[in-house]
Amino acid sequence: MTLLPPTAEQQKRISEEVPADPEMRKRDIVAVREWLAKQPHLPNHMDDARLERFLFGCKNSIERCKLILERYFSVRTAIPEFFAVRDPFAREIQECCESIHYFVLPSLTDEGHRVSVLRLKDTAIDKFSIQAISRRILMVLDTRLMEESCLSNVMVIDLQGFSVVHFTKCSPTQSIVRKSMLAVQDSMPLRLHRVHFLHAPAFIDSILNIFYPLLKDRLVQKFRVHTGGGEELHSYMNKNILPNEWGGKAGTLDDLNDAWKKKIEKNKDWFLREEKLSRTNENARLPESKSRLLAELDGLQGSFRQLNID
């Protein structure tokens, strides 16, 4: 699966929001690498291209980039449930790919946003694992960081086939769900523009009310709840970039899902190598660099409050 680069018009819009200055970017990369060298608990193995994508995702803010890098490495050590044995051929990942559609659309929206889709392929409750889904999502996000910089992200969550039991397994009262929140929040240089919920059931308000106390108002304002299917997205983005079943031309849901399954499988060696390299050495951590993540994890106090939104 190839992530298509921006068109000339899309690139113009992206550059208006995050101005391109190659010389400044080089200086910023040097500054970030010098900072990493002074953090004995953090690795310093990322190449310049990857660090540049972190800076871009942080809108060229060096300080924001430092915070994201600290979190990026820390979660991999503190929450091994989502980062240990990152083998795409592991049974739980293979089963997740067979039961859950999760993929990134090849084309950007006209505004330059990248669109991801999550939906059930198999509605069986025993096939629905928050841990496996979270591991897979994080693997896809890492794959994207190897390949592209994008302005912001649109998440489409299709709730067709979800039952009350599915929603119960997603409840923030579940320890694994709270850990998943911690693993994702502020650990990737990827901003969120919009979240669309499709096929929302009648009781969706009751479900979302459980999460609202944990969410910033600005994030809640990005939610769009639809009772219909993919056709609801046509007023928000060019329908041609959507899956065939939703009136688009990107390919079928199964083909898009399978393409991303193969993509992470192709990167197996990278995932296994990164699993060892992208970790903190907590024994070498200086007192002044104590991770907020560890305090949050102690009481599972994490929430979406720090989710990076624009």
pLDDT (tens digit, 9 = 90+) per residue, 176-186?
888 887 788 77
Rounded mean pLDDT of 164-184?
Answer: 84
* Within a domain: 295: no
Residue 62: give its domain's CATH number.
1.10.8
* Within a domain: 300: no
* Residue 214 CB neighbours (<10 A): 15
Query: What pLDDT is recorded for position 299?
Result: 55
CA distances from 164 to 123, 170, 250, 299 (A): 12, 10, 31, 27
Query: What pLDDT is recorded for position 303?
Result: 44
* Within a domain: 202: yes
| Interior angle at CA 135, CA 196 and CA 198, nearest 5 | 15
In this structure, the answer to whether residues 144 and 222 fall within a common structural domain is: yes
In this structure, the answer to whether residues 40 and 100 fall within a common structural domain is: no
Helices 91-99 and 130-147 meet at what angle, rounded to 10?
A: 90
Query: What pLDDT is recorded for position 195?
Result: 94
* Within a domain: 130: yes
In this structure, the answer to whether residues 67 and 101 fall within a common structural domain is: no
The domain of 98 spans 91-268
Q: Rounded to an integer, what is the distance from CA 30 to the centroid of its chain?
A: 26
Residue 287: pLDDT band with limits 50, 70, 90 = confident
* Within a domain: 109: yes
Residue 291 has pLDDT above 90, yes or no: no
In this structure, the answer to whether residues 111 and 253 fall within a common structural domain is: yes
Enumerate residues 6+ apart whose C-beta is below 8 A from 261: 88, 97
In this structure, the answer to whether residues 52 and 124 fall within a common structural domain is: no
* Within a domain: 213: yes
In this structure, the answer to whether residues 71 and 101 fall within a common structural domain is: no
Kindly state the DSSP code that residue 109 receives in the 8-state scheme: P
pTM: 0.90
In this structure, the answer to whether residues 252 and 107 fall within a common structural domain is: yes
* Within a domain: 204: yes
How far apart, in Å, do the first and last CA atoms of the chain sit?
27
In this structure, the answer to whether residues 70 and 135 fall within a common structural domain is: no
Q: Which residue has the higher pLDDT, 279 or 208?
A: 279
pLDDT (tens digit, 9 = 90+) per residue, 145-159?
999 888 899 999 999
The tokens for 62 are 């060096």
Residue 135: give its domain's CATH number.
3.40.525.10
The domain tally of the chain equals 2
* Within a domain: 305: no
In this structure, the answer to whether residues 29 and 152 fall within a common structural domain is: no
In this structure, the answer to whether residues 121 and 146 fall within a common structural domain is: yes
In this structure, the answer to whether residues 187 and 143 fall within a common structural domain is: yes
Give the span between the Cα atoms of 25 and 185, in whole angstroms: 25
In this structure, the answer to whether residues 245 and 280 fall within a common structural domain is: no
| Interior angle at CA 238, CA 236 and CA 242, nearest 5 | 100
Query: What pLDDT is recorded for position 149?
Result: 80
